Amino acid sequence: MSGFYEWLKEVRCTTVREAAERLGIQVESARDRLRRLESRGVLEKKFVNRVAVYCIKEGAQLPPPLKRGPLAETRMRMEQFVNLLAQEGCVLSSALCRKLGLKHSSARHIALMLLSQGRTVEVVIGKTAIWCRDRGAAEELIAKIRETAHRLASRRRYIKPSELLQMVRKDKEAYELFARFVKMNRFDGNHIGPVALAFADSILASLYGDPVRHASNRHIYFVAPQPRQDLGDIVVRDEAEKALVHITLPSDLAEKLEGTNAEEVVVQALQQLLERYR
């Protein structure tokens, strides 16, 4: 990577295809390397005639290379994850994958590690998992979503999740908020995805309690003047679920593990399993 960076300092700017030719690798691999340098603050991406061009930032210095190996790579990704949450407050797993160039399994693995360390908070609304920088950011997000949903729903006496989503699409402020976590541009009045429906259903349940009745397998809620205070099925987790497992190690293995960092050993084992099944 350092040799490539020296070349980049000479040319100043490059496209993904040019970088691939320089490195002698596939285009996707070159794009991943450029994105890594961008995430580390070395490069900035611009568009010239719809072509992405990566240019070195003025005065930018390549950070000291991390120790090679999967553990160092994971630590780097964890810090990128935390920095992104510091900027955004709360993000979807898919956004983390896109911005950090990770597969979904890798992004969730890193998120759960941070959760176990108390460095992130998971919010689950319906089938949607959202990661927040801290509990305060998570509670603020939930309150904003609930307040927005109640503002729209209060125009009716009864409401279904699909109707709430349709109202969101017609309200600019609500659309910008919901579109961060639900793909609002991928459904019409007759075809609404199950993830979007589950998201809206969970929000309505947190506001108004159990549905009063069902119609065509869709819940119908009575819109109360004052929403409930409890969150219903919305889950907020600020630490990973832990289970105590008792194992007996062979004497030779126990001797080799003595004095080592057990957490790092477990992380390396998980990384090897992830690589095997990707």
Predicted pLDDT of residue 64? 56
Q: Do the domains at 2-56 and 144-232 have one common CATH topology?
A: yes
| C-alpha–C-alpha distance, residues 273 and 105, integer Å | 11
For domain 144-232, give its CATH number from 2.60.40.10, 1.10.10.1490, 3.40.50.2300, 3.40.50.1000. 1.10.10.1490
- Reading the block at residue 278, the tokens are 């990707």
Instruction: Output 29 or 136, whichever has higher pLDDT.
Output: 136
* Cα dihedral value 145, 149, 152, 156, nearest 10: -170
Q: Which residues pair with 125 in a beta bridge?
A: 128
pLDDT band of 143, cuts 50, 70, 90: very high
Over residues 252-256, the mean pLDDT reads 58
Q: Is the pLDDT of residue 261 over 50?
A: yes
Return mean pLDDT, the chain.
80
Domain ranges of the chain: 2-56, 70-119+243-277, 144-232
- Label residues 128-160 b or e (16+ Cβ within 10 Å = b): bbbbbbbeebbeebbeebbebbbebbeeeeebb
pLDDT tens digits, 40-50: 788 888 888 88
Closest CA to 150 of 223, 82, 247: 223
Q: What is the DSSP letter of 61?
A: -
Closest CA to 183 of 202, 198, 203: 198
Sheet bearing 213-215, strands edge to edge: 158-159, 218-222, 213-215
Predicted pLDDT of residue 252? 59
Pairing of the two strands 213-215 and 51-56: unpaired
Q: Is the pLDDT of residue 150 over 90?
A: yes
Residue 199 neighbours by CB under 8 Å, 6+ apart: 125, 126, 127, 128, 178, 181, 182
Helices (H) and strands (E) in the chain, counts: 12, 10
- Fold annotation for 2-56: Arc Repressor Mutant, subunit A (1.10.10)
Rounded to two decimals, the pTM is 0.61
Predicted pLDDT of residue 244? 44
Instruction: Output 59 or 53, whichever has higher pLDDT.
Output: 53
Q: Which residues pair with 128 in a beta bridge?
A: 125
